[in-house]
Amino acid sequence: MANKRQFDKIKRIVVKVGTSSLTHSNGKMNLQAIDQLSYTLSGLVNEGKQVVLVSSGAIGVGMGQLNLQERPTDIPAQQALAALGQSMLMTIYQQRFATYGQKISQVLLTHDVLDYPQSKENVNNAINKMLAWGIIPIVNENDTVATDELDHKTKFGDNDQLSAIVATIIDADLLIMLSDIDGFFDKNPKKYADAKLIPEITEINEQTYQHAGGKGSKFGTGGMTTKLKAAQRMMKADKLTILANGVNPSIVFRILNGDAIGTLFRKG
């Protein structure tokens, strides 16, 4: 049996879920996964943990609402889908978390908000107060206004980066990234049957990035490279990151129990 990871002192956790964990392959919302995620994170708060959820899925959910099979390439359509999907996503979260007696809040961010020291401090103060009150902030990028075409930097690029930025700003102990893959492999496991999971990484270098594949699902924007960048940001802050499969969100309980699941990124 693999050695247990020592997560006893973990108090503040950021959990990032990708679009692939929240929607089915046809774009419809995966209500079972969302319910299980709500149950799991509510349970962590009951245990005395402080939890922030960084949730992708707004555009994907919006596509599902309109039965779109391909993500539009024009910015206004993506903005409109984000607005539609975010509203539906938060409605479902509100329903499911309320079932477990857990209060949630919505925090929509753009990159320039966290680049500007005063607004960055305001965000940090607000999230800290929510956590002190036992509330789970649900964070997403404000895709309705954040675009690459604006003169100032508004987009994070993906929610992997956003989750790491938020985690370092609020001084979280651990970032858990739930995706559609079991962890970080030495080669793409979807292409190579002999791909091996790497249980722990203490340095991210050029070779590590060469192992990373391309983009994620058609409903999302992330890929392995963005996850590596997020883990690298956490490692520079001497914080921990776990990359694991989010098909069953209750896996978070096992991760915090110290089970050797997924890939652990830590500073060497």
- Please answer whether residues 72 and 104 qualify as being in contact, where contact means their C-beta atoms are separated by less than 8 angstroms: no
Digit-coded pLDDT (tens) for 146-187: 655 444 445 556 789 899 999 999 999 999 999 988 999 988
Most confident residue range from 192-206, 217-231, 242-256: 242-256
For 235-260, the three-class secondary structure string (H helix, E strand, C coil) is HHCCCEEEEEECCCCCHHHHHHCCCC
Q: What is the pLDDT of residue 3?
A: 72
- The closest of 199, 216, 219, 180 to 72, measured between CA atoms, is 219
**What are the domain boundaries of the chain?**
12-265
Q: What percentage of the chain carries pLDDT values higher than 90?
A: 59
**Interior/surface letters 214-237, b for 16+ CB within 10 angstroms, e for the rest:** eebbebbbbbbbbbbbbbbbbbeb
Q: What is the pLDDT of residue 147?
A: 58
Annotated binding site: 16, 56, 143, 159, 179-180, 221-227
Digit-coded pLDDT (tens) for 209-227: 877 754 444 333 447 888 9
- DSSP-assigned letters across all residues of 46-115: HTT-EEEEEE--HHHHHHHHTT-SS---SHHHHHHHHHHHHHHHHHHHHHHHHHTT--EEEEEE-HHHHH
**Is residue 35's pLDDT more than 50?**
yes
Q: Write out the two tokens for 107.
A: 């925090």
Annotated binding site for substrate: 56, 143, 159
Digit-coded pLDDT (tens) for 85-126: 999 999 999 999 999 999 999 999 988 888 889 999 999 999
- Please answer whether residues 186 and 195 qualify as being in contact, where contact means their C-beta atoms are separated by less than 8 angstroms: yes
CATH classification for the domain delimited by 12-265, as one of 1.10.760.10, 3.40.50.12160, 3.40.1160.10, 2.70.70.10: 3.40.1160.10
Mean pLDDT in the chain? 87
Of 24 and 131, the one with more pLDDT: 131
> Could you give the C-alpha distances from 47 to 36, 44, 75, 119, 264, in angstroms and in order?
17, 5, 42, 31, 23
